[in-house]
Copies of this chain bind each other. A is one copy, B any other.
Amino acid sequence: MATKKILLLVLDGLGDREYEGKTPLESAVHPNFDELSATGVNGLMYTLAPGVVPGSDTAHLAMFGYDPYKSYSGRGAYEALGAGIELRKGDVAFRCNFATIDSSGRVVDRRAGRIEDTHPLEPLVQSIKLPGGAKLVFKSTAKHRAVLVLRGAGLSRMVSDVDSHGLGNIQKCMPLEKKGAKTANLVNMFVKKSHDVLKDAPLNAERRKRGLPEANVILLRGAGTLPAVESFQKRYGMKSACIAGGAMYKGVARALGMDIIDVKGATAGVDTNLEGKVKAAAAALDNNYDFVFLHIKGCDVMGHDGNFDGKTKFIDNVDRYIDHLMVRNDTVICVTGDHSTPCELKDHAADPVPLLIANCGRTDGVRMFGEKPCASGGLGTIRGTDLMPLLMGAANRARMFGT
């Protein structure tokens, strides 16, 4: 029996609500997606469950077939892995922001004026010493963002966030369980020391002169540990690759043992190199990969901005490049979102996302890719953890039970 390859194209935040009777996906012009819908089967997907708003990390775990209620161990781990840090068992990783505090220690800008580049500050933070044999790995990533990994004995991810997502006093890191006490203590020490090393940095002196918010403290959130999961290769017997702009998505893929294919100009924004990413996916399918996860972030960005027209246009754009993938008879193509990000909410919603699976030898009469047409599709309404089994079945890779 000939197996097929699988392409999973995730348009982050794809799902939306209607404005004058149409969602952005339904307003967009996308002959390629429509052709995939018409030549495949369609449905809706609750990535986690009805009434649960998916995070991007948990949603992706579910779509890869890993029940996040069992395997999720905090966002920080995916950020660290996505930033290229080698995360070890026992490490606790955090998402970090360079932020601005005033002379009384209050947060006045939690993104330090969306500072463009913090790499000059990175060695200062890396020089911080922690007591009790604890070590740290610190990496500046894009703009005000960074990743911290604490390494040492007796650490735990069961600690509260320092970054409250608001202004005012810095939140003290608190243990959420007794075993988090040591980690919370180290975190509070780290935050204090980050201010000590950053406040007099030349870059901040210069920003002060230019009237820009100083990057004079590091705020942490999303403590996470390496998820203890079976690898994607072991579970599905497929050599897999991830093509994504955002660090977190690469991190989820790395946590499952996927190879990461970097593409020049992949930005996790609407300005991403769509053509480069799609061509890289096609090349990966040509070159020995059985499963390619192609992540495109722009819809989510536009949803968070409440930009209905921008989301619509971005979908138009993606559709234009998809023809590089549609010629493949050897590949099951799945297009979906990880969650909906309705423009009217400017945030993730619990609404289901549209889903199509094409080149699987079956159709269902749906002619257009959109929330409404998919609602009457042959896949019905599924959950995220059903997706991989369905794709394995479509690719003639499912196993028999019984005889």
Contact = CB atoms under 8 A, between A and B. Distances in A.
Given A380-B380, A393-B351, A361 B17 contact: yes
Contacts of A23: 362
B18 A363 contact: yes
Interface in A60-107: 68-69, 72, 75
Contact of A347 (B1, B68, B399, B402): B1
Contacts of A389: 49-52, 350
Residue among A59, A363, A402 facing the most chain B CB atoms (10 A cut-off): A402
A53 B401 contact: yes
Given A349-B393, A372-B378, A375-B41, A362 B18 contact: yes
A57 interface: yes
A400 to B, nearest CB: 4
A382 interface: yes
A177 to B, nearest CB: 19
Interface in A1-34: 1, 17-18, 21, 23
Interface in A360-400: 360-365, 371-372, 375-382, 386, 388-394, 396, 398-400
A393 B53 contact: yes
A215 to B, nearest CB: 23
A56 interface: yes
A399 to B, nearest CB: 6
A378 B388 CA distance: 22
Interface of chain A, main secondary structure: loop
A386 B372 CA distance: 21
Given A399-B53, A402-B55, A378 B375 contact: yes
A56 to B, nearest CB: 7
A375 B376 CA distance: 8
A200 to B, nearest CB: 33
A44 B393 contact: no
A347 B2 CA distance: 11
A222 interface: yes
A345 interface: yes
A354 B234 CA distance: 33
Given A58-B402, A401-B52, A378 B44 contact: yes
A342 interface: yes
A3 B380 CA distance: 28
Contact of A75 (B41, B57, B394, B402): B402
Contacts of A298: none
Contacts of A1: 345-347
B393 A350 contact: yes
A287 interface: no
Contacts of A351: 360-362, 393-394
Contacts of A49: 389
A159 to B, nearest CB: 15
B361 A392 contact: no
A363 B56 CA distance: 25
A220 to B, nearest CB: 13
A166 to B, nearest CB: 16
A196 interface: no
A145 interface: no
A386 B350 CA distance: 13
A54 interface: yes
12 contacts: A51-B391, A52-B400, A53-B393, A53-B398, A55-B402, A72-B402, A345-B396, A351-B361, A364-B372, A364-B376, A365-B376, A378-B381
Interface of A: 1, 17-18, 21, 23, 41, 44, 48-59, 68-69, 72, 75, 222, 342, 344-351, 360-365, 371-372, 375-382, 386, 388-394, 396, 398-403
Given A350-B389, A376-B378, 7 more contacts: A1-B345, A51-B388, A51-B391, A53-B401, A54-B400, A58-B402, A72-B401
